[in-house]
Amino acid sequence: MWSTLITIFLTRLVFVNGFSYDNQTAWKKEHTKCKGNYQSPIRLDRKTAIIIGKVPEIAFLNYNTVIGGDRVDVLNNGNTIRISFDQVDNSKKPMVKDGPLGRDQFVMEDIHFHWGSFPTRGTEHKLDGVSYSLEAHLVHRNVKYESFEDAKGKENGIVVLAVPFKEKSEGVSTLSGVVNLLEKVKFTGNETTFHGNFVLDKMFYLKKEKLYFMYEGSLTTPVCDEKVLWIVYSKARCVLKSEMFKFRSLKRIDGEPLINNFRKPQKPNGRKVILVV
């Protein structure tokens, strides 16, 4: 009897935040916003995008600032690996502004990852028809809102920077700092912090990246709030096969592998996609 109850309990807990990647068709039935016309992710193609040049550069504030690693939390929440900055002093929290963001400033809310079970499966956004192993989302909220909950669904409320990673046998990876901690967060609910100092720009090097797609969409997990500005970088970074093995070794709460945690492409519904060059 107890084993049956435990199995039922664990099965329910797989649906962290009330959803499962195994049954995405249920999202639209259970969460009305997931049926919206501006849903993410979508397919991004240079041939059909509106190309714009001479856009002012995005300003990355505190991306090079040294942050004490013990204040940067890493959590396996059952759906992804989440890096949060709640304990970081406000004066040191990463922020973005300028460029297509205008005068508003957006503070880092969290970083999380989406990945697949093999090298051509994992990224949420397909770039020129190609999927890669992993996609990082750097989620920012407008500082005029007190919390992420307040910013959701609001005009100019949320900006997400998306960075794809291509799986390679060898090369230079910038994710080693995260990968080295994955064993400590192997199971759902496990949490740890970074060792030593943490510098965000060493993971992504976004300041030097000029080519990116931009469009209006939504959060890619329920409840799928819209009015999210997406900035999706077109150049894939390197992630090593040995590192992807560690991502794929993570566990959901039911003990099954935490893999294929990405939403399928949504209909563009006539949205404009801009390619900044």
Count of Cβ atoms closer than 10 Å to residue 122 Cβ = 28
Phi, psi of 257 (to 5 degrees): -60, 140
67: CB partners within 8 A, 6+ apart: 85, 88, 92, 197, 198, 199, 200
Nearest one of 69, 104, 107 to 87, comparing CA atoms: 69
Residue 208: predicted pLDDT: 84
- 2-276 belongs to CATH 3.10.200.10: yes
Which residue carries 């959701």 as its tokens? 152
Q: Which residue has the tokens 């005009």?
A: 155
| Weakest-pLDDT range from 30-39, 196-205, 257-266 | 196-205
Residue 11 has pLDDT above 70, yes or no: no
Q: What is the pLDDT of residue 19?
A: 87
* pLDDT confidence of residue 195: 84
* Pairing outcome for strands 197-198 and 73-76: unpaired
Furthest-apart CA atoms within the chain: distance in Å: 66
pLDDT per residue over 63-87, tens digit each?
A: 999 999 899 999 999 999 999 999 9
> Which 8-state DSSP code applies to residue 65?
-
Residue 1: the pLDDT is 42
Nearest one of 203, 113, 98 to 162, comparing CA atoms = 113
Residue 196 is predicted with a pLDDT of: 87
**For position 17, what pLDDT does the model report?**
52
Q: To which residue do tokens 């004066």 refer?
A: 91
